[in-house]
Amino acid sequence: MDQMTTENSSNISEKETLADFGRNDLPAEFPPPIILPEIYRGKSGKTFYPEYTQEAKALQWALNRLAGWELPGKGHVEEYIRSMYRRNFRPRTYESALNAIHDFLKGVRAAGKTRLEEISKNDIEAFIEHEQDRGMKISTVRTRLHCVNAFLGFAMEAGVVSTAVLARRIRLRKPETLPRAMDPDDVKQLLSVIDNPKDRAMIMVLLRTGMRIGELLNTKTHDLHLRDRKIDIYEGEKNRLGRVVYLSDDAMSALKAWLKIRDHQKEFLFYATGTKSMSYSTARQIFVNYLHKAGLVHKGYTVHCLRHTFASELLNAGMRIEHLQPLMGHSSLDVTRRYARLTDKTREEEYFRAMSIIERGEGR
């Protein structure tokens, strides 16, 4: 039986279902709540989720947190959260959506409004300014604004919020930064100090497949196909798109060395000592430790830089960008094109050809 401590669990009496919370202000026309297995708090004080999926746990966590709100449109927020469950949103999405919607509605209440029908575009502008005044990065403000807009769109379809509110959406320009790839010499230096078979296999697979760290940590042994030299990713970490990635000779060699000594009873391909899997923080610390050992920590490389390095090296080697896109798991070719700004050899050659002419004084 799965166990999980829930925020405000002291408010849940023995055998009291969390689905009972937050339904008081829903109009009669709302559909009945999603029926899920009963949640109860045992004698130990722990909250029990019998036979719950991660999505169901996230939904009940959100409903429990929502129960303590005293904000406009609380019933509509609950129905929106339930719609997220029906549409199979990721568990982690519930927290970010609730936080953004809470702060937005808090501002609406501060403006003296008690109903969603009173919301105007000015409330969205005030929310953006508030986030910027708090020193939020533009990428964070955009993410939180997206959460608010998604909720308002849901309320608009329900006929609660005016269509004028989202008629011309406010778009925040995000700086188009270059992906951070590692210098080739730094890659060699990093690999030269990795002597642990498990660590070497993990870093080599990230470097040669372009997998996100979360995707690799979720990889199980049956996802690895040594004969075909590939790994199946059934659901992408970011956009939930499945894909196949391939293993180079050096990645295969590192993997085989690890497979010889790993515990074959473990389900996940990589795991930490004494556990069945490995957390992101553990994997990140392994990478940082080797950066220290290689004298590269001052360069600010992250684990994600291995993915950027994979993409830039393949483009430098002549791979066509439309072939790189599915390997990276990008839903849009425009995202993959960011790497072309790092690796445009034709542009680089044209620059130095023209500059040599200028330096010889032939262009005057």
Q: In this structure, which long-range contacts are made by residues 321-327, counting pairs with CB atoms below 8 Å and at least 24 apart in sequence?
A: 326/243, 327/209, 327/210, 327/243, 327/245, 327/246
Q: Map residue 237 onto helix, strand or coil.
A: coil
Annotation marks residue 212 as catalytic: yes
CA 280 to chain centroid, in Å, comes to 12
Please report, as a single letter, which amino acid is at residue 110.
A
Q: Which of 198, 200, 307, 308 is catalytic?
A: 307
136: left (phi over 0), alpha (psi -120 to 50) or beta: beta
Candidates 238, 240, 323, 345; catalytic one: 238
| Angstrom distance (rounded) from CA 245 to CA 212 | 11
Contact 150, 100 (CB under 8 A): no
Query: Is-catalytic flag, 238?
Result: yes
> Which one from 106, 130, 230, 304 is the annotated catalytic residue?
304
**H/E stretch holding 232:** strand 230-233
Indicate which residue of 65, 200, 212, 243 is catalytic: 212
What secondary structure, in 3-state letters, does 272-300 show? CCCCCCCCHHHHHHHHHHHHHHHCCHHHC
Q: Which of 49, 290, 301, 339 is catalytic?
A: 339
Residues 243, 235: Cα–Cα separation, whole Å: 8
243-246 and 224-225 beta bridge pairing: unpaired
C-alpha distances out from residue 297 to 109, 285, 303, Å:
47, 12, 12
Ramachandran area for residue 195 (φ above 0: left; ψ -120 to 50: alpha; else beta):
alpha
- Tell me, yes or no, if 307 is annotated catalytic: yes
CB-based contacts of 26: which residues, under 8 Å, 6+ apart?
A: 75, 78, 79
Known catalytic residues? 212, 238, 304, 307, 330, 339
